């Protein structure tokens, strides 16, 4: 028997989709029965009260959670988000119901043993409710009380070798795709770079220093499975400098509809799409029209390839990314709070990924960007908003990167050019006497 | 190179506390950038180190909404008790 009647929430279970309401009810029941005999450290009926407060919010059309708080673990300025209910008498189980963000492993690789330990800990010291994973990528542990925070943190760090993630005005938990651990398209080892930068910037992750949040995300190739281009202030996308590698025999196998060469590696085989047509499905869809298939030979004008990945995705046995690989850095993506949503703008078209020198080329760009944003960014201003306010040209200046054609997204709309003195031959200084010899006052 | 004020740990911490106490009547929580005004000649990263050290020493405390973090004197403004925890 449920503690609170939830007719409005029950509606959310009526559709054909999985429902978080059903999940919460199930968890409330598991806690009520407690067949495992867990010595719950927070109220046993907290999940019932969570459903109750949500039902009340639906009824009132406004939230019953307060805004933020001062809770945290010692020495960390992020990773814990204070959540308090403004109806504690009605719902004592969620009077304080803080969120903890846990730094997910690179590529989200887990062992079942680890997951079991983690959920056992959260059943014991929290509500047992998790979000795998939050939008930033973290493991989200939802709902515990203040005294449990340090206890959970101690167990995570000492027994699980596991750190908290970022929240607030910090570097947020960096997130990456599986990269070279499983994917043949990956142009660099995303996990290695993600892990290195997570360790390198521990201070930025745990001690707030920024005007607002800052996110790194790593995609091994331009397929952008992590969607870093849309979801991070600084996006690292694998790319290549040389030519797409073509196996002409394999191309012809695709064209001949050889069953061992299914289009898209068989990803769409659930439906009969008819015979494979290279013109219709590959060369005709190339966004820059840089490919052609003539006399059983596929040719690509690589200088005009924009790395859309379509041809490689469709014919993975015939086409491969180039051998000279690295990554592109894009800056300024954000969600629509101010000025609307933005995708990242290309800052560095190609940069070497070199673990032997601790990714020096990459960290130099990062730190130049941070120095500028920390100095010039207004409170709660994302990097993308600062780029819009001060101009992309300013970003190039602070990072010491020369403007190049790849930076141009569209033809100029501003007719004014303001030169700097060092950009003009001879500078501003003029010899007035020399001038007056030729020009009377 | 940091300023003399920032290099002198005690003087730097006192400057922060004095500034926060002066503001206490109207505000108790501040953005990191607000502290830049106390050390106009210093780099943000150096200022951040001092302010975060003060949190570690329990002179200051963080307040977080989840998306933004602010700093305040420990015990000033909204506290656990007013959130019904004590």
Closest C-alpha among A193, A239, A177 to residue A360: A193
Nearest residue to B50 (alpha-carbon basis) of B65, B41, B60: B60
Cβ A173 vs Cβ A165: under 8 Å: yes
Q: Cβ contact (<8 Å) for A70 and B66?
A: no
Q: What is the pLDDT of residue B26?
A: 84
Per-residue pLDDT tens over the stretch A332-353? 999 988 888 999 999 999 999 9
**What's the whole-number mean pLDDT along residues A87-111?**
95
Which tens digit of pLDDT belongs to each residue from A4-62? 999 999 999 999 999 999 999 999 999 999 999 999 999 999 999 999 999 999 999 99
Cβ–Cβ of B64/A69 closer than 8 Å? Answer: yes
- Given this model, what pLDDT does residue B84 score? 45
Would you say residue B16 lies in a domain?
A: yes
Interface contact A169, partner B, CB < 8 A = yes
The per-residue pLDDT for B80 is 52
- d(CA A227, CA A232) in angstroms, rounded, equals 8
Q: What's the confidence (pLDDT) of residue A402?
A: 94
3-class secondary-structure state, position A382:
coil
With bands split at pLDDT 50, 70 and 90, how would you rate the model's confidence at B85? very low
Contacts of B83 in chain A (CB under 8 A): 66, 69, 82, 84, 96
Q: Note whether B84 contacts A167, CB cutoff 8 Å.
A: no
pLDDT in tens, A181-236: 999 999 999 999 999 999 999 999 999 989 999 999 999 999 999 999 999 999 99
Residue B80: list chain A partners with CB under 8 A: 69-71, 146
Alpha-carbon gap, residue A165 to A80, rounded angstroms = 9
Q: A409 or A213, which is more confident?
A: A213
- Look at residue B81 and tell me if it is in a domain: no
Q: What is the CATH number of the domain that holds B12?
A: 1.10.10.10
Residue B83 has pLDDT above 80, yes or no: no
Residue A238: half-sphere exposure toward Cβ, Cα within 13 Å:
31
Cβ distance of B83 and A213 shorter than 8 Å: no
DSSP state of A61: T
Q: Span A277-281, mean pLDDT?
A: 96
Q: Percent of chain B, pLDDT > 90?
A: 47
**pLDDT at site A211:** 94
The neighbouring-strand residues paired with A327 are A238, A351
Instruction: Tell me if the domain spanning A7-158 has CATH number 3.30.70.2500.
Output: yes
Pick the CATH number of A245-320 from 3.90.79.10, 3.30.70.20, 3.40.50.620, 1.10.8.80: 3.30.70.20
| Banded model confidence at residue A69, pLDDT cuts 50, 70, 90 | confident
* B57 near A CB under 8 A: no
- Name the minimum distance, in Å, from the CA of A211 to any CA of chain B: 7
Establish whether this prediction's ipTM goes over 0.85.
no
Query: Which pLDDT score is estimated for B79?
Result: 61
Confidence band of B8 (pLDDT split at 50, 70, 90):
confident
CA distance A272 to A276: 11
B82 belongs to a structural domain: no
pLDDT band, residue B78 (cuts 50/70/90):
low
The nearest CA of chain A is from the CA of B30 a distance in Å of: 10
Check: CATH 3.40.50.300 for A175-238+328-421?
no
Domain enclosing residue B70, as ranges: 4-75
What is the spatial distance between Cα A292 and Cα A270, in angstroms, rounded to a whole number?
Answer: 29
In this predicted structure, what is the pLDDT of residue A371? 95
Nearest to A394 by CA among A376, A367, A413: A376
pLDDT at A428 over 90: no
Domain range list for chain A: 7-158, 175-238+328-421, 245-320
- Torsion of Cα atoms, B43 then B46 then B52 then B57, to 10°: -140
State the DSSP H helix or E strand holding residue A372, giving kind and residue range, or none if neither.
helix A360-376
Give strand pairing partners of B61: B72
Q: What is the mean pLDDT of chain B?
A: 85
- A96 and B CB contact within 8 Å: yes
Phi and psi based region of residue A218 (left: phi greater than 0; alpha: psi -120 to 50; beta: remaining): beta
The answer to whether domain A7-158 and domain A245-320 are alike in fold is: yes
Residue B86 counted as domain residue: no
Quick one: pLDDT at residue A246? Answer: 98
Beta strands at A297-300 and B60-64: parallel, antiparallel or unpaired:
unpaired
Q: Give the span between the Cα atoms of A363 and A334, in whole angstroms.
A: 21
How many domains is chain B built from? 1
**Region A266-290 average pLDDT:** 93
């Amino acid at each position: 028997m449920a503690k609170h009647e939830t007719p409005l929430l029950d509606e959310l279970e009526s559709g054909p989709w999985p429902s978080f309401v059903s999940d919460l009810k199930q968890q409330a029941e598991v806690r009520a029965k407690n067949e495992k005999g867990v010595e719950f450290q927070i109220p046993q009926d907290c999940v019932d009260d969570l459903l109750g407060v949500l039902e009340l919010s639906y009824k009132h059309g406004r939230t019953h959670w307060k805004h933020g708080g001062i809770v945290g673990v010692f020495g960390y300025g992020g990773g814990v988000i204070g959540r308090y209910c403004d109806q504690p008498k009605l719902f004592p189980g969620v009077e304080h119901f803080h969120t903890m963000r846990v730094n997910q492993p690179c590529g989200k690789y887990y062992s079942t043993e680890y997951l079991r330990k983690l959920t056992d800990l959260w059943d014991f010291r929290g509500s047992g409710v998790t979000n795998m994973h939050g939008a930033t990528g973290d493991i989200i542990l939802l709902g515990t009380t203040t005294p449990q925070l340090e206890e959970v943190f101690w167990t995570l760090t000492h027994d699980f070798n596991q750190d908290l993630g970022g929240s607030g005005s910090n570097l947020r938990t960096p997130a990456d795709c599986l990269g070279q651990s499983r994917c043949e398209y990956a142009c660099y080892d995303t996990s290695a770079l993600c892990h290195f930068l997570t360790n390198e910037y521990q201070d930025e992750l745990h001690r707030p220093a920024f005007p607002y949040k800052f996110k790194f995300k790593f995609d091994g190739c331009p397929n952008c499975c992590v969607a870093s281009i849309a979801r991070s202030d600084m996006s690292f996308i694998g790319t290549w400098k040389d030519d797409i590698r073509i196996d002409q025999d394999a191309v012809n196998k695709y064209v001949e509809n050889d069953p061992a060469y299914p289009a898209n590696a068989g990803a769409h085989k659930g439906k009969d799409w008819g015979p494979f047509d290279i013109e219709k499905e590959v060369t005709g869809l190339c966004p820059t029209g840089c490919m052609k298939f003539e006399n059983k030979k596929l040719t690509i004008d690589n200088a005009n390839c924009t790395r859309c990945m379509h041809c490689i995705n469709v014919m993975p046995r015939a086409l491969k990314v180039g051998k000279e690989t690295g990554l592109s850095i894009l800056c300024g993506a954000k969600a629509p709070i101010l000025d609307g949503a933005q995708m990242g703008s290309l800052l560095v078209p190609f940069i070497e990924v070199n673990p032997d020198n601790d990714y020096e080329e990459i960290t130099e760009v990062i730190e130049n960007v941070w120095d500028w944003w920390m100095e010039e960014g207004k409170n709660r201003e994302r990097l993308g908003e600062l780029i819009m306010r001060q101009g992309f040209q300013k970003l190039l200046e602070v990072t010491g990167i020369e403007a190049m054609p790849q930076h141009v997204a569209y033809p100029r709309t501003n007719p004014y050019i303001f030169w700097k003195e060092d950009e003009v031959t001879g500078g501003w200084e003029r010899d007035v006497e020399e001038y007056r010899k030729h020009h009377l006052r | 190179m940091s300023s003399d004020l920032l290099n002198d740990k005690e003087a730097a911490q006192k400057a922060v506390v004095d500034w926060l106490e002066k503001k206490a009547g109207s505000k108790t929580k501040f953005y990191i950038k607000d502290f830049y005004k106390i050390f106009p000649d210093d780099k943000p990263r150096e200022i951040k180190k001092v302010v975060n050290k003060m949190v570690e020493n329990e002179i200051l405390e963080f307040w977080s909404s989840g998306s933004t973090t602010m700093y305040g004197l420990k015990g000033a403004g909204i506290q656990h008790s007013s959130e019904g925890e004590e």
